[in-house]
């Protein structure tokens, strides 16, 4: 079973392709012999990535310079995919930004900037590629959301609000376009080391503190994320629609475990 996921030759678009998760997702797709369309803002970087994938994995690929907040830029990306490959199979929305400030200090421009990339950008990419998917009568969306779409990411302005919007956008896409053979799901990661989160891991003590909050006692890797993306992108998840996959090493269920007990929670249980 060399092509268990069935992604060989599937045209897969990845936004935020040269970011921490984006690169790993593109590499994982290429390793499955998928056709990789890498979208990001820096033309030179996407071109380098796609050249490397073509050379290493002997796949077909396309590098597209695209700002997901600009309608014409996204439409141009769809045109390039149509002209080159004629169709699209999978779109993975990954492009995102994170800005910090206590709410009372946050300026309106920053609030809007985060919503523009994280929510409006996902919408534009989904809307423009979705029209093509509807004509084809098939397609799959995987949107990178976050555990912080359900729990506020404090002092991070519009980040949680934007991702909560992504969760609902994904459900609406599934509900309206399911009849056209289109699926839409979100991945909800937490505690993954990438350029976006690198500053949180600069201090080993902070990193250790973060590990202890998870059930798995480790920080997530971009490979963990890419593996889950492959599954949701593939027909192996063909009856999974309008839902979310939490990928956080069990962090979300550890709240109760944070409540102190005399002698420690395990110690208490062993002595009572």
Ligand X SMILES: NC(=O)c1ccc[n+]([C@@H]2O[C@H](COP(=O)([O-])OP(=O)(O)OC[C@H]3O[C@@H](n4cnc5c(N)ncnc54)[C@H](O)[C@@H]3O)[C@@H](O)[C@H]2O)c1
For ligand X, the binding residue among 37, 49, 63, 117 (CB under 6 A) is 117
* Residue ranges of E strands in 48-134: 61-65, 90-93
Is residue 61 near ligand X by the rule CB under 6 A?
no
Q: What does the block give as tokens for 242? A: 């309008």
For the bound state, the minimum distance from the C-beta of residue 14 to ligand X, rounded and expressed in Å, comes to: 10
Half-sphere exposure of 76 (CA within 13 A, CB side): 13
For ligand X, the binding residue among 52, 60, 69, 201 (CB under 6 A) is 69
Is residue 18 near ligand X by the rule CB under 6 A?
yes
Residue closer to ligand X, measured from CB, 15 or 184: 15
Q: Which of residues 133-162 bind ligand X (CB under 6 A)?
A: 144, 146
For ligand X, the binding residue among 36, 115, 121, 233 (CB under 6 A) is 121
- Give catalytic residue positions: 159
**Beta partners for residue 185, in sequence order:** 142
CB-nearest residue to ligand X: 19
| DSSP percent split of the chain into helix, strand, coil, nearest 5 | 50, 15, 35
Q: Which of residues 202-261 bind ligand X (CB under 6 A)?
A: none
Contact yes or no for 171/145 (Cβ under 8 A): no
Neighbour-count burial of 111, counting CB atoms closer than 10 A to its CB (0-12 exposed, 13-18 middle, 19+ buried): middle
The residues that touch ligand X, with contacts defined as CB under 6 A, are 15-16, 18-22, 40-41, 66-69, 94-97, 117, 121, 144, 146, 189-190, 192, 194-197
């Amino acid at each position: 079973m060399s092509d268990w996921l069935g992604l060989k030759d599937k045209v897969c678009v990845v936004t935020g392709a040269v970011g921490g998760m984006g690169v790993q997702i593109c590499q994982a797709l290429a390793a499955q012999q998928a056709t990789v369309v890498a979208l990001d803002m820096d033309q030179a970087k996407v071109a380098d990535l796609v050249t490397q994938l073509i050379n290493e994995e002997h796949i077909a690929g396309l590098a597209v310079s695209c700002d997901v907040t600009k309608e014409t830029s996204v439409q141009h990306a769809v045109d390039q995919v149509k002209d080159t490959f004629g169709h699209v199979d999978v779109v993975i929305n990954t492009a995102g930004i994170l800005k910090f400030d206590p709410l009372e200090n946050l300026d309106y421009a920053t609030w809007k900037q985060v919503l523009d990339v994280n929510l409006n950008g996902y919408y534009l990419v989904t809307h423009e590629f979705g029209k093509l998917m509807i004509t084809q009568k098939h397609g799959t969306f995987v949107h990178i959301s976050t555990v912080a779409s359900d729990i506020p990411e404090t002092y991070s302005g519009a980040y949680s609000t934007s991702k909560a919007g992504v969760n609902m956008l994904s459900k609406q896409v599934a509900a309206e376009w399911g009849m056209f053979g289109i699926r839409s799901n979100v991945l909800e990661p937490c505690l993954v080391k990438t350029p976006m989160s690198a500053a949180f891991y600069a201090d080993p003590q902070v990193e250790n503190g973060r590990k202890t909050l998870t059930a798995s006692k480790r920080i997530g890797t971009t490979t963990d994320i890419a593996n889950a993306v492959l599954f949701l992108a593939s027909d192996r998840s063909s009856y999974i629609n309008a839902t979310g996959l939490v990928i956080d090493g069990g962090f979300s269920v550890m709240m109760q475990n944070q409540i102190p007990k005399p002698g420690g929670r395990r110690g208490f249980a062993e002595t009572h």
